[in-house]
Amino acid sequence: MERVNQYLNDRIESFDDNSPCRSKDECNLFHVYNWIQFFTSMYNDVIANNNNNFW
């Protein structure tokens, strides 16, 4: 579980480096929520299909 958390933290950090909030004052973090939903969906799909070469 710790490895999954660290992996997610690394990906979020990369996301923040590449896609920072455009307006810091009015940011509702919806773009981050969308990215996490996408990442979770892709991760679950890879695990369900046992496609370990994807990563």
Average pLDDT over residues 3-8: 82
Q: Do 54 and 46 meet the contact criterion of CB atoms below 8 Å apart?
A: yes
Please write the tens of the pLDDT for every residue from 17-42: 666 666 667 777 787 788 889 888 98
User: What's the CA gap between 26 and 24, in Å, rounded?
Assistant: 6
Packed helices 2-18 and 30-48: angle between N→C axes, nearest 10 degrees: 130
Enumerate the domain spans of the chain: 26-55
User: What's the CA gap between 17 and 50, in Å, rounded?
Assistant: 30
Indicate the pTM of the whole model. Answer: 0.50
